[in-house]
Amino acid sequence: MHKITRFCQVLALVFLAWQISPSVQANEILEEGPNYFVVQHDTGSFIGSVVMRMDISTDSLGKIHVTSRIVSITGKPGWTWVIGKSGGTDKAVEIKFSKGAQRLAFKAHYAPGKTVIDSGVVK
């Protein structure tokens, strides 16, 4: 249980740093509990957002696992999206946004010690 608490504290600090730094991307923790949290990732004020839930568990060997799932996806007017990867236990989420010729790939992989959030660049 101590590892899970520590993992949640580290993630909270990462989210706080993202909120403080000047960026197009914004992240907001919408809900959290002892073994889960729900976060909204804005992919840019003119593109959309992805809301994800992460459930944290420990297996019989004491290894921590994070099960990621998409709660909702919204796109600003004109933007559409396709789910490339829907998450799962220790799996990444990938959403591909598009509007005409413009493209943006949002990627998120939550894992102890190697969490990566990439809101991409509009191309």
Name the band, by pLDDT with cuts 50, 70 and 90, for residue 41. confident
Q: Per residue in 51-93, pLDDT tens?
A: 999 999 999 999 999 999 999 999 999 999 999 999 999 999 9
Look at residue 2 in the predicted model and tell me its pLDDT: 54
Contacts within 8 Å (CB) and 24+ apart, 104-109: 104/43, 104/44, 104/47, 106/41, 106/43, 106/50, 108/41, 108/50, 108/52, 108/68, 109/68
pTM, two decimals, is 0.75
Residues of the chain with pLDDT > 90, as a percent, come to: 52
